[in-house]
Structure 1
Amino acid sequence: MNLPSSSTTLANCTPKLGLLQRNTLGIESYAEQAIVISKSEQIPLLLQDIKAHGLPWQVLGGGSNVVLPSVLPGITLLIDIAGKEVLSSDRTETLIRVGAGEHWHDFVQWTLAQGFPGMENLALIPGTVGASPIQNIGAYGLEVAHFIENVQAFDTEKNGFVTLSNRECEFAYRDSYFKQNPNRFIITQVTFKLPKAWAPKLTYAELAKQFSNQSPTPLEIFNAVCAIRSSKLPDPKVLGNAGSFFQNPIVSEAQCTELANQYPAIVSFPDAVGQRKLAAGWLIDQCGFKGKRIGPVGVYDKQALVLVNYGGGSAQDILGLAKQIQDKVQETFGVQLQIEPNIF
C-alpha cells in the first residue's frame, strides 16, 4: 500500500489483519484495523481521523522487541518507510538519513558496503531502523546512541513533525526519551553520523579472544559478530523469540562485591563510575531456567537470556515465565530483572 497523504484515512485501513509475521516471538495476534505507513506524509491526516473517532492506536515496526496480545485494539500503524540517503561526507564524518522502516541489519551491512564503517558490532540485531533509538539498541560494547545525529518524528502532542537532537533523545542503557514517552512520537527517519576515523571496538571478551594480536577489518568484525550471535540466538523464523528478554541489571560496586564474595563465578562488566553491569543470562542460568520448558514456551538452551515460543504460546505464557524468572533471581541474588521488550 502506497497511498498519498490526502487519501490516507480510516477508510484505507485493513480490518482484522494477522500479525504473526510482524512479531518475532511468533505470537498469534491480529490488529482490529491496520494500515501500512510508507510515507511520513500519511501520518497527520490519519491521526486526525483516528482522534476524531476517539479510537486507540499504536505503532508497530518489525516486531522484534514486542510482546503482543491476542488482539491489538483500534488502529495499528505499520511503519514501512524506506530509503537511505547520504546527506554529506567529508574527511571527518558521514551523515546518512534512513527511513524508519529499513531493516536494521541490512542497513549496517549497507554502510560497510559503502565504505562507512563503525556500526559493525551492531550487526544481526533484528528489527527496524525506526525502533533502534527507542530501545537504544546495543551489543558488544556499542550502542546506537553513539552514532545518532538526530531523529525525525511526528509529535502527537504538538501535532507536527519534529527533529530531536542526540541530546534531546536522552539516551541511556536500553532507554530513551521515546521509550519514556510511549505513543507520543512516531519515528519516521533517523540520521546517523559515522566518523571517518575508525578503530576496532574489541572490549567484549569474545571479540577480544577471536582477534587477539590481530588488527581486524570492519568486515571481519561484522562477520565475527554475526557468527557469535547466530551461535547464541535462535533464528526467529525457526523458533520464535525477541532476542534478549531481560536487561543486564546495573548494581553498585558494593553490591557487586558482596555478590562476588558469595558467588565467585558471577559475571559482571564495568559501567558508570561506582557501578557494575551484571550478566542477566548468568543469573538466570544459576537459577536453573536455562533450557527449561513450560508448555508452549521456554528458555533457550544455549542462552538463558532468551525466552522462546515453541508454537502456540501467548503473551500470558511468555510473561508468566518471565515473572517466574524475575521472582527467582530476586529471591536468590536480590537483583530485579527488567523486561526489555515492549509489552502492548
Structure 2
Amino acid sequence: MTQIQQNIPLRQYNTLGIDIVARFFAAFTSVDELGELIENNPNTGIAPLILGGGSNILFKDHVNGLVLKNDIPGLSVVKEDADRVYVKTGAGEVWHKFVQFCLHQNWAGVENLSLIPGCVGASPMQNIGAYGVEIKEVFEELEAFHLHDKKVYVFKASDCAFGYRESVFKRKYRNQFVILNVTYRLNKKPVFNTSYGAIEQELERMGVQDLTIQAVSQAVINIRTSKLPDPAKIGNAGSFFKNPSVVVALYEQLKKQYPHIVGYPNTDGTIKLAAGWLIEQSGWKGYRHGDAGVHERQALVLVNYGHATGQDIYDLSSVIMKSVHDKFGVELEREVNVV
C-alpha cells in the first residue's frame, strides 16, 4: 500500500510556487490505491484534497487534511472508425504530452490546446479552452470515483454540464468525485480553426504554405511562449481570471466610452470581454507589490516572484477585481481554484 506521509511541502506541486505544507500527503496511480488511501485517511473530519498538475490552484494557507496527488497513467486507443479515433487517457498524464501523442499520430482536435499546463484530469473539470477550441468539442466520456460511496461512475458530455471554464465537477459535484481517466474523440481528417487570436498571423510569419495540425500547434506554442511566463521560471497559474460576459446594452455603453474595448459575441446573445484588456486599462499591467505582481506582458496573469504567500496573491486579485468594477462596472471572476 502507498504510504501516507506527513508535513509535506507543496511548493513543487503548484505552479504558483506557494510555499505551504500538507499535514498528510500521498500519491496514487490506480483506483485501488485511491480507495485504500481514502479508507486510511488519518483525518476523517476533512475531505481529501485531490491534486493534479497544480496549475490552476491557489493555496491561501497550509492544508490541515489529506492531499492526494493523482498520478494515474495511461494512453490507449479504445476504438476507432473511418473518421475518428477514441483515446483513453489517465487523469495523471501531462496534458501537453497527450496533445503531442495526438499530433504524432496525426489525429486532429486538440492542436489549438497545445502547451496548456496541467494534467488530463483537469481538462473536463475546467472545460479547458484556448484559441477558439474547448475540451467539450473532443470529449467523449470520463470515469470518476465517488469519494463517499466509493463507486466508479461514467460521465458522458451531457452529464458534465460544460460551460465556459465550467463543469459539474467545479460546482454541483465539487469535492465529491475524483476523475480517473478521460476518453477523447479525435478526427482523422482535420478541421482547422485558425481564426481566433493571432494564429493566422503567426502561421504567416512562420512561412507555412500547407496547413497541418502540427503547424497550428507550433503557432499556438509560439504565441503562448511569447505572451505567458514559464511556471518553471516564475510562479504563475496562467490566466488567473475568466473573461467576463456582459449584456449588449452595457457593451455598447462601454464601446462609446472606450472605442478600443475588446469584445466577442456569445451564442446566448451576451458579449464576452477580454479580462486582460480591462485589467491593463485599469493600470495593473506590470504592477508589483513585494513578490506578488501582474505579469509585464499579459495582465491576465498574476505572478509570484519568489516568496509571495497565497494570501498576497489573493489580496492582489481582490484589489484588481474592485478596480475593474469601479472603472467599467464589470465583475471579474477568478478562474483558479482557491483553497
Which range is displaced more, 278-287 or 200-209? 200-209
Which range is displaced more, 208-217 or 149-158? 208-217
| 2:196 alignment partner in structure 1 | 204
The letter of the residue matching 2:77 is V
Return the offset for 1:89: 1.9
Matched, 1:141 2:132: yes
Matched, 1:217 2:217: no
Q: What CA distance in whole angstroms lies between the structure 2 residues aligned with 1:305 and 1:53?
A: 38
The letter of the residue matching 2:177 is F
User: Which of 225, 232, 244 lines up with 1:237 in the alignment?
Assistant: 232
Q: What CA distance in whole angstroms lies between the structure 2 residues aligned with 1:88 and 1:311?
A: 46
The letter of the residue matching 2:193 is K
- Do 2:88 and 2:182's aligned partners in 1 also have CA atoms closer than 8 Å? yes
| 1:20 alignment partner in structure 2 | 11
Q: What CA distance in whole angstroms lies between the structure 2 residues aligned with 1:192 and 1:16?
A: 37
User: Which of 155, 158, 167 lines up with 1:167 in the alignment?
Assistant: 158
RMSD: 1.5
Q: 3-state SS of the aligned residue for 1:265?
A: coil
Structure 1 runs not aligned, ≥5 long? 1-6
- Normalising by structure 2, report the TM-score: 0.95
Please show how residues 86-235 of structure 1 align to structure 2 within 5 Å.
86-180=77-171, 181-211=173-203, 215-235=210-230
The CA deviation string for residues 191-234 of structure 1, in whole angstroms up to 9 with x for no partner, is 10112231210121301333469652100010010000000100
The letter of the residue matching 2:13 is R
- Do 2:92 and 2:120's aligned partners in 1 also have CA atoms closer than 8 Å? yes
The letter of the residue matching 2:143 is Q
Aligned length: 335
| 2:25 alignment partner in structure 1 | 34
- Normalising by structure 1, report the TM-score: 0.94
| 1:336 alignment partner in structure 2 | 331
The CA deviation string for residues 244-280 of structure 1, in whole angstroms up to 9 with x for no partner, is 0000001122221111111000011121231111000
The letter of the residue matching 2:84 is E
- Do 1:293 and 1:299's aligned partners in 2 also have CA atoms closer than 8 Å? yes
| 2:252 alignment partner in structure 1 | 257
- Do 2:74 and 2:89's aligned partners in 1 also have CA atoms closer than 8 Å? yes
Please show how residues 31-70 of structure 1 align to structure 2 within 5 Å.
31-50=22-41, 53-70=44-61
- Do 2:43 and 2:66's aligned partners in 1 also have CA atoms closer than 8 Å? no
- Do 1:103 and 1:127's aligned partners in 2 also have CA atoms closer than 8 Å? yes
- Do 2:8 and 2:21's aligned partners in 1 also have CA atoms closer than 8 Å? yes
Q: What CA distance in whole angstroms lies between the structure 2 residues aligned with 1:241 and 1:144?
A: 22
Q: What CA distance in whole angstroms lies between the structure 2 residues aligned with 1:336 and 1:55?
A: 32
Which range is displaced more, 310-319 or 150-159? 150-159
The CA deviation string for residues 67-95 of structure 1, in whole angstroms up to 9 with x for no partner, is 01341111110101111011112212110
The letter of the residue matching 2:87 is I
Q: What CA distance in whole angstroms lies between the structure 2 residues aligned with 1:56 and 1:118?
A: 36
Q: What CA distance in whole angstroms lies between the structure 2 residues aligned with 1:29 and 1:270?
A: 41
- Do 2:43 and 2:65's aligned partners in 1 also have CA atoms closer than 8 Å? no
Matched, 1:293 2:288: yes
Q: 3-state SS of the aligned residue for 2:162?
A: coil
- Do 2:47 and 2:175's aligned partners in 1 also have CA atoms closer than 8 Å? no
Matched, 1:271 2:266: yes
Q: 3-state SS of the aligned residue for 2:169?
A: helix
Q: What CA distance in whole angstroms lies between the structure 1 residues aligned with 2:154 and 2:112?
A: 27
Structure 2 runs not aligned, ≥5 long? none
- Do 2:107 and 2:189's aligned partners in 1 also have CA atoms closer than 8 Å? no
The letter of the residue matching 1:102 is E
The letter of the residue matching 1:87 is V
| 1:4 alignment partner in structure 2 | none
